[in-house]
Amino acid sequence: MPSVLPPAVARRQWQIMTAIGVVVTAIYTAWSTSPLASVSLVVLGVLTVVACFLGPRRWGAEPPAAWLMMAVAALLFLIGLLIRPTVTDLAMPLPLLADVASFSGYVLLGAFLFVLLRARRSLERHAVLDGLIVCVAAGLASTLLLAVPAAAIAGRPALLSIIQGTYPLFDVVLALLVINLAFTTKTWPVSMIGLLVMMVGLFVGDTAYAIVGVSGHIYASPLLNVPYVPAFAAIGVAALHPSVVEMSRAGRLPVQAWSWQRLAVLVPALILPFGLLLATGSGAATHRLLIAVSGALMVVLLLFRAISAVQAQVAAQLHSEHQATHDPLTSLPNRQSMSTLIERLVTTVDSHGPERVWVYMLDLDGFKWVNDSWGHDTGDQLVIEVGRRLRAQAPETVPVARVGGDEFLLAFVGDKAGALRLVDDIRGCFARPLPVRDTEVVISASIGIAHAGGDPVRSAVTAEALMRDADTAMYRAKSEGPGRSTIFDTSMHEQVRERIELEVALRQALAGNQLHVAYQPIVRLETGMPVGAEALVRWEHPERGSIPPMLFIPIAEDSGLISEIGTFVRTEALRQLGVWRSQGVVSESFYLSVNVSPRQLSEPDLPLVISGELFRFGVPAQCVALEMTESVMVDGSSVTARVLHELRQLGAKLLVDDFGTGFSALGYLRQFPVTGVKIDRSFVTGLGKNDQDDEIVRAVVAMSHALGLSVIAEGVETPLQREALYHVGVVNGQGWLWGKAVPAQEFAERWHLTAALPEVPLPVTTITNSGRHRRD
Ligand code: C2E
Ligand code: MG
Ligand code: MG
């Protein structure tokens, strides 16, 4: 059994089969009349049948039924061959037994080839037409030269004669299938060659029989069987070779209209009727009629062939033109053709009139998140649906193109009012949720708009510039939040350049030690004593001096540098805390608060890395707080959720930074293991002066206490703010009132446990309301 054979042996079986085939062919040719010849033929035949059963199954050839048919066909051929010499001379209907076996074999072989060809997608119109032309010619020749004479032989049962005359016609049909295979195959693996050798063997053998048959014999000599011997071996080899799996794989050549190989087969076929006409010129009228009909049929087929070739050519050309100018996913025009379209629009606009060419660059917000959480298939579907809606929503005169993963481009000619109306139309596309797969996605788009007056001379330049400016404006819109739109103005160019310069400089800063960490105290409002500190990154540029984080952190986030920066700040801060703890600079419960960006929280190994650092610097997890923005929880993937839970399990505090500026949805505060919130500076600023701010802070505190969360107020600058905060129940605060962020050395000097209390933070005495909820 091949399945229990070691792979090396299994791989060599086809070579063994080849060797057996050569030996048996030699024996059969040399001693065709001896019993040894018959015995070796039986051995070879049986081996072949077994090979057809087991080989394809072993290598996993598809479809399994095809090779089963081939195995049975081989068995039937073998039976036919073996019994023919014996049954030929017996009384009717016994001689037909051999034919029943061979006939069934042919039918199965034909079915086998057909199934294979269909699986290969080789039954291609051109190849079939070519095959049919050759078939008609071969059928004509074999009918006139072999079948008719054989069938006309008297002195034996008519049925027998007719059957003998039919064999060559079987071969013609098989030839059609084999020609199909040969014309459409790209590679010639061993199994394919085996199959062709088998077909040639069958063909030669059948032709030999047919030629003998013309003289009235059904069976003359065992020598007639010689061509079948290698045919058996060849099909065995085809079945055993690993390349048997390739036989049914679609790997066909793109059919060329004409090729030399095809002409070499087709030209003789087309000439044949004329040759036959010459040869049998004096023959019966039915012969000439047959020749005429076949010739006409061939001409018709040839015509079909020519028409079909032209059609295919035209279709291919249209297809490639469409592909060159359209996006394959949405079938919308692509960037290149949109550029040409815009160029054309620019030439049509009168530069002195009120009309302008408006170009809209649209980018989906959070598309990456859809792709990451639901997979690229869903992302593709979303893009298709957005493309469909945009096309349906925009007026017909407005071209819509897809120019990138989730980017679309629209162009419009008209005045400003019309242009802004189109923005509303575009927005309308995103008002309803987009059905994708078995879910619905709510998504928005950032839109950048650029416009220009007509300039027929410089239309190409203008078109490119418009698309580039719309892109710049789109990035600006995106930076302002999701779902925004912005009209380009020239100052944006300057900002883009500045941004690129900063990014380059930031990369150098990371490598060149220009970054360091500063610490700002977080104090207990009541006592003014520090309970912790926030670690904040500082960048000292050699020429430009100190660059504020508000300027470079967004750039770092966009460029991915934030991970490296975040890691640097965190490691340095934890190291520093370890030192302070060992030197007794800070109390046991003193904690450091570190900012973590969304990108860092999407790194699955972050908890592991942090726990390693805590161990390394001897810092307990309770002494670390991680600050994140609300967007982390609103936009976060399942990875982020897992990371947050693991960090919390570790024991670290998790704080929501700048609370109140973002979505301020309560749901996520319960869903994620957050331990506290930091009320954004913007609410603290108005405290004591603005009633609304007072109310907001009061509400945040009440809500936080209800959820068991700690509260820290950010940006406390005045004693008034501090008192108001204390009054509404805020326990801890951070701000310039107690001190700005300073380098580690300075922080230690100022806030050393044993150092005298600084002057500013006196206990708040004016507040009588002492029964408040407190945490930390
Ligand atoms: P943040 O996390 O909300 O940090 C507080 C910011 O408010 C700091 O600005 C701090 O210097 C400032 N601040 C503190 N007290 C006062 C005050 O009384 N009045 C005023 N007007 N401002 C005060 P900074 O250092 O410029 O940092 C800005 C933002 O940059 C931070 O906001 C944070 O989002 C980000 N950032 C800073 N360092 C890092 C870092 O290492 N990693 C990450 N991912 N982001 C960082
Ligand atoms: Mg912060
Ligand atoms: Mg903050």
Q: Specify the residue with its C-alpha closest to ligand 1, atom 13.
A: 715
Ligand 1 atom having least distance to the Cα of 517: 41
Residue 446 Cβ < 6 Å to ligand 1: no
Helix (H, G, I), strand (E, B) or coil at 455: coil
Give pLDDT, residue 5. 59
Do 237 and 194 meet the contact criterion of CB atoms below 8 Å apart? Answer: yes
Q: How far is the CA of 536 from the centre of ligand 1 (A)?
A: 6
Query: Which ligand lies nearest the alpha carbon of 684?
Result: 1
Do 59 and 242 meet the contact criterion of CB atoms below 8 Å apart? Answer: yes
Residue 625 Cβ < 6 Å to ligand 1: no
Q: Which structure tokens are listed for 596?
A: 């973590």
Residue 572 Cβ < 6 Å to ligand 1: no
Q: How far is the CA of 369 from the centre of ligand 1 (A)?
A: 27
CA angle in degrees (0–180, nearest 5) for 694-698-699: 120
Strand partners, 653: 625
Residue 598 Cβ < 6 Å to ligand 1: no
Strand partners, 407: 363, 404
Q: How far is the CA of 535 from the centre of ligand 1 (A)?
A: 9
Tell me the pairing of strands 710-713 and 445-452: unpaired
Residue 626 Cβ < 6 Å to ligand 1: no
Q: How far is the CA of 683 from the centre of ligand 3 (A)?
A: 12
Low-confidence spans in the chain with pLDDT less than 50: 1-3, 756, 759-776
Q: How far is the CA of 323 from the centre of ligand 2 (A)?
A: 50
End-to-end distance of the chain based on CA atoms, in angstroms? 75
Ligand 1 atom having least distance to the Cα of 741: 11
Residue 600 Cβ < 6 Å to ligand 1: no
Residue 569 Cβ < 6 Å to ligand 1: yes
Residue 680 Cβ < 6 Å to ligand 1: no
Q: Specify the residue with its C-alpha closest to ligand 1, atom 45.
A: 595
Q: One-letter amino acid identity for 269?
A: A
Query: Which ligand lies nearest the alpha carbon of 655?
Result: 2
Query: Which ligand lies nearest the alpha carbon of 515?
Result: 1
Question: The pTM is what?
Answer: 0.54
Ligand 1 atom having least distance to the Cα of 680: 3
Residue 658 Cβ < 6 Å to ligand 1: yes
**C-alpha to C-alpha distance for 622 and 412, rounded to whole angstroms:** 58
Number of continuous H segments (helices) and E segments (strands) in the chain:
28, 17
Kindly report, residue by residue over 243-254, the tens digit of the pLDDT: 888 887 766 555
With the most atoms of ligand 1 within 8 angstroms of its CB, the residue from 517, 536, 564, 602 to mutate is 536
Q: Which structure tokens are listed for 235?
A: 């099909």
Q: Which structure tokens are listed for 410?
A: 């629209």
Do 184 and 124 meet the contact criterion of CB atoms below 8 Å apart? Answer: yes
Ligand 1 atom having least distance to the Cα of 658: 3
Helix (H, G, I), strand (E, B) or coil at 330: coil
Q: Specify the residue with its C-alpha closest to ligand 1, atom 37.
A: 536
Q: Specify the residue with its C-alpha closest to ligand 1, atom 16.
A: 715
Q: Which structure tokens are listed for 488?
A: 């380009």
Q: How far is the CA of 627 from the centre of ligand 2 (A)?
A: 6
Do 659 and 700 meet the contact criterion of CB atoms below 8 Å apart? Answer: yes
**C-alpha to C-alpha distance for 335 and 202, rounded to whole angstroms:** 58
**C-alpha to C-alpha distance for 573 and 335, rounded to whole angstroms:** 48
